[in-house]
Each structure stands twice: as structure tokens, then as C-alpha cells.
Structure 1
């Protein structure tokens, strides 16, 4: 056999072996969404919608919903964390993205949460290199989700109310993980500002402070309005953390 043929034979063998070595490997990337100043976003509030994309091509490599519990309250909210502390356990909500990659891949990870509360859903994202066969587990990649979930309970959308009647304002306010807001609780209602802004069709607005008292997470106030069309916006604000959230509705006073 000629020397050139032997060289070509070794080259072919080398390429075959190399192709075997760079076959796609399943690589696990655990992704969790954690509410700012609260716990993990899981099944109890519908979870976070996770997308993992190849940053170069935009291809979606994995997609799913975080499922599981909100986590251990004492560990997350009451204990001092040290470096490399693990906040999650086997029951804590997350999404394990299984990526089939042949080479180190720079990915964009997006979390939309809480996915079932459209007026409250926010996007949190980050980027990282994922190396074939090098799993990222445990707490994994944790994306912080700021805000509050605010739901206006009363008045109802497009409700017609007599001008002679008192109007009851009710709003449900919870953390982005669904954790309750109560007076004197871990998430202390006294720390938060919950305010209704009522705007007439002429653009005249007034603010009404709301308080939590009878039912966990439920803030209330009463008011009277003259005949007309009104927009009601209720917001929650935490001056300590900067968390915010709001909901809107419209009513008719006749």
C-alpha cells in the first residue's frame, strides 16, 4: 500500500473516531424561578414558563413549566444563607431542561412567571454557557421574579352601580409565588402600600388607601362616586424591596 493511501486511511479513521466523540450528549440544566423576597414559583400558582434558546440561532432547545412546591419557608425566609447553601429540595419547583448538545453552547434562558396570571406575568432572563455532559443541578439556575400578583375582586369589570350605593373596593394581593400577605406575617401587610386610583372619564383622579384586616391577602376600602364612567387601578408597592404590582378594571355609575 502506498504511503499516501495509508495516510488517507488513518485520516478517515481519525475523522470517524472524532465524529463518535462529538456526538450529542444529554445535558441537564435545572431551572427555577424564585419570587423576589419570597419563595419558588411552582404548581400552586401555575408555575413559570421556561424557554431555553440557542443564543446564536434562536432555536428553542427546551421548553416547559416549573412544577413542584414553593419550598421550605424556614430555610428560604428565616435562616441566614451561607455561600453554596442549597435552598431547594427534591420537592421544590423547577424545570429540568434536557439539552442534546454536541459542543459548548451559549444559551438564553427565559422565565415567564407566574404564567397563569397575565396581568402579573413578568419576564426574567439570563445567559450562560452549557457544556456537553456537564450537568447543572441542585438549585441550578435561579431566575428572580420581582413583583406582586394583584387581582381586583370588587367591583367587577363593567359593573353598573347606583350612585347612591357605597362602592366596596376589594383586591387580593399575594407574592409572585402565591405566598399570602397578612398583618404581622412573614409578608407583612403593614410593610406594603396598597392604593386604589379612581379616574373619571374627564381624567380626574383620586387615591384611596386600602388595608388588609379580615381575610389574608385581601385589602379593602369603601367610597362613593357620582354618575359616570370610571377606571379603577389598584397597585401594591413595597418600599423595602421595590416590588410592585397592579390590576385595572372599569365600572359604570348610574
Structure 2
């Protein structure tokens, strides 16, 4: 009788140990000096892997809003104060684990802006049944989304079409979460240095500064073009206060 009881206990104990426990892991991705990366900008791609085996445990996109501007950027925060609400962008991985597991969390964002996307990673121990909820694990990404709007990629431009041999060029610039940059705005255009380098046949021929246009996010400048040839335009933006930067490069032809 005692042997049967002991055997039953051992079987129950082993069965208990073998049962995986559902455990939630909340991941959020935030742009440096800005807001969360969510649905409005295409989301952040999240990978959760078992560190020891490299097995993929969960993957998907953050979804939801970019968060409360006033709370995130214009309010002093206290310890343990939540920076998010139920609408704020997140990805919740639902994992079944049997024992404490060290996981690698990798993010890439914004997904819809491949040329500006930044990667980041961290690690966390997951304990079976101990959900990581609320603000969760927040990964912060530095960067800016910079797109050269004009001239367009490999645009062929007749030299005689340029008035006073000057080519107007224009870019769009936003924070990594898609938040707008404007004169005297939350993200003040005056805080951003925007410059350009022009090359002809691979040789640098000039450096230029862009100024803020009237439209939100738009900066523009002028390039003196004296000769026909193959040109490359490199444009950069730098926000010293937030240590954010962004770059875009295109090629065009003057015939």
C-alpha cells in the first residue's frame, strides 16, 4: 500500500514538473526622445528566442498608439510610474515554459521604413507563471526617418532645364516613431541640423545646408549644378539634444 502511494506521488510529481506554464511577456519599442513605435508607423518587429537553444519562441509586430505626448515628454516621472495605457503600442508574447528560461528579445523598427529601421536587443529571465505586464520591457531606439523627396532616385534631368543652373532639393524628416518636426513644435525644427554632400562621378563637389520649409517635416535647399554627369546626393540630419541621426542617399543624372 505504501509503495503504491509513494509510486503515485512520484508520478504526480514528475507530471507536475513536465507541465508547461503559460507566461506572458510584454515588449514595447520607443523612439529616443519621442514616443512608442506602433501601428501608425507600421509597428516594430519583435523576436523572442530561447538564449540557450536559439529556438524561436514568439514573433510579431507591436500594435497600438504611440502614447501620450504630454506624459512621455512634458511631465516629470516618478519611480514605478506607468508611461503607457491599454492603447499604447506593444507586443505580448504568450509562452509555455517549464522552468526559468533566459530569453533574447530582438526588435527592428520601424518595419515599414526599411531604410531607417534600427535594431536593438536585450535579455530577460522568464519565470513560469510570472507575467511581465504593464509597461513591460521597453527597448529604446535612436534614429530619425529621413527621405529625399526631390530629386527622385536616378532621375534624369536636362541641364538646360535648371534655372540659373540650380537644382532645388527637398527632404522629409520625422522622429523614428513618425512624430512630426515643425517650427516651435514639440520636436522643434531649430534643434535639427540638416546638411547635404554632393558628389559628381564619385568625387565630392560641395557641402550644403537645408532650411526648414513651411510644411511640417519638410526641409529644402539648393544645389549649384554646372556640368552634366552622374551625381550622388547624401543628406543627413542630426539632433544634438536627443543624440538622434538619420541619413538618405540617392543618385541622379544631369544630361
Same fold (TM over 0.5): yes
| Residue of structure 1 equivalent to 2:250 | 249
Per-residue Cα deviation, 1:31-74 (whole angstroms, up to 9, x for no partner): 00000000000001000000000000111101010000000111
* Residues 44, 110 of structure 2: 8 Å contact kept: yes
Determine if the alignment matches structure 1 residue 16 to structure 2 residue 12: yes
Match of 2:110 among 107, 111, 114: 114
Q: Which moved more, 1:240-249 or 1:46-55?
A: 240-249
Q: Where do residues 1-254 of structure 1 align in structure 2 (5 Å cutoff)?
A: 6=3, 10-11=6-7, 13-164=9-160, 165=162, 166-225=166-225, 226-254=227-255
Matched residue SS, 1:44: helix
Q: Which moved more, 1:129-138 or 1:11-20?
A: 11-20
Matched residue SS, 2:9: helix
Using the size of structure 2 for normalisation, the TM-score is: 0.94
Q: How many residue pairs are counted as aligned between the two chains?
A: 250
In the TM superposition, residue 224 of structure 1 has moved relative to its aligned partner by 2.4
* Rounded Cα–Cα distance in structure 1 between residues aligned with 2:100 and 2:43: 29
Task: Calculate the aligned-residue CA RMSD, in Å.
Answer: 1.5
Matched residue SS, 1:150: strand
Q: Which moved more, 1:64-73 or 1:155-164?
A: 155-164
Distance change in 2, residues 1:175/1:202 (3 Å): closer
* Rounded Cα–Cα distance in structure 1 between residues aligned with 2:51 and 2:105: 9
Give the ranges of 4+ consecutive aligned residues of structure 1 lying more than 6 Å apart after TM superposition: none
In the TM superposition, residue 13 of structure 1 has moved relative to its aligned partner by 3.0
* Rounded Cα–Cα distance in structure 2 between residues aligned with 1:202 and 1:27: 54
Using the size of structure 1 for normalisation, the TM-score is: 0.94
In the TM superposition, residue 168 of structure 1 has moved relative to its aligned partner by 1.6
